[in-house]
Amino acid sequence: MSIWEFSALADQVAEVRRWVTRELPELEGTQLLGDIQLVVTELVGNAYEHADRPFRLRLVRPGAHSVRVEVDDPSPDPPALGRSRFGDIRGRGLIIVDALAVTWGVEPGSSGKTVWATFRTDAAS
């Protein structure tokens, strides 16, 4: 399990994406790595925008052929799957997560929540 803990995001998005690449070297050059990076960006961005800081990002290997992205934040409020409408510039983050991840969800915790998404790595190309 790899963990990244931070209290600010403004200039760290590119660094977070590089960290994901370093943690998943076997996926370098695959579309799956780009998908995971995008989901990480969306989940971390949601935590940064909607919750107090600090928050934590984890990459977990629950099995030989899967990756689970987890973002903990101190807000008890669950995220909402938005609706994408023409002209809107917001509200698409979880729609993207839903489209790219095999599954995703929210687990309430004693001091906030964990939003997670899973990916299969056995068919990476």
| CA–CA gap between residue 67 and residue 29 (Å, rounded) | 16
What are the pLDDT digits (tens) for 26-71?
A: 999 999 999 999 999 999 888 888 777 778 889 999 888 999 999 9
CA 10 vs. chain centroid, Å, equals 16
Q: Of the CATH numbers 1.10.1740.10, 3.30.590.10, 3.30.2130.10, 3.30.565.10, which one belongs to the domain with range 2-120?
A: 3.30.565.10
Please indicate whether residue 85 or residue 106 has the higher confidence score (pLDDT): 106
Residue type at 64 in one-letter notation? A
Could you state, in order of their start, the residue ranges of all structural domains in the chain?
2-120
Q: What is the pTM of this model?
A: 0.85
